[in-house]
Amino acid sequence: MTTNTRRDFAIRLAAAGVAAASGATAADTPPPLKIHTASLPNGLKIVLAEDSSRPVVNLQVWYHVGSKDEKAGRTGFAHLFEHMMFRGSKNVGPEEHMKIVRAAGGTLNAYTSFDTTVYWQT
């Protein structure tokens, strides 16, 4: 099984598990996802799972960095940097991005694990 096939299978399996756990009927089950992949010249990998059955977009940015990258005695930095991303930048004020997304009816958050830091918004 190729990497893309395994990933597609995992996505579909997860979707089926969520549907089954929620008591969804066949009418509630979304159509099979159309998976598109690409890589940009800078190495950024893009995975697009297209589902046009709902007028919603979910964006996730995954960084391959987490607590595994911290040195003994200096832990918590991955989680700290996750929170610092919401503090703004030269062009975006503190929590301004959050306010814009929420004003449009969206939601967003982030989390850090052993080997990833993920930012998402819907």
In a domain, 21, yes or no: no
Which pair of tokens denotes residue 101?
């997304």
The whole-angstrom separation of Cα 101 and Cα 13 is 30
How many independent structural domains does the chain possess? 1
81-90 residue pLDDT tens? 899 988 999 9
Which of the four pLDDT bands, split at 50, 70 and 90, describes residue 121? very high
In a domain, 96, yes or no: yes
| Domain ranges, residue 103 | 56-121
In a domain, 19, yes or no: no
In a domain, 105, yes or no: yes
In a domain, 102, yes or no: yes
DSSP per-residue codes, 81-106: HHHHGGG--SSS-TTHHHHHHHHTT-
Distance of CA 22 to the CA centre of its chain: 21
The whole-angstrom separation of Cα 82 and Cα 111 is 7
Which of the four pLDDT bands, split at 50, 70 and 90, describes residue 61? very high
4-57 residue pLDDT tens? 556 666 666 556 555 555 566 666 777 788 899 999 999 989 999 988 888 899
Is 82 noted as a catalytic residue in this protein? yes
Set 70, 82, 95, 96: catalytic member: 82
Q: Model-level pTM?
A: 0.67
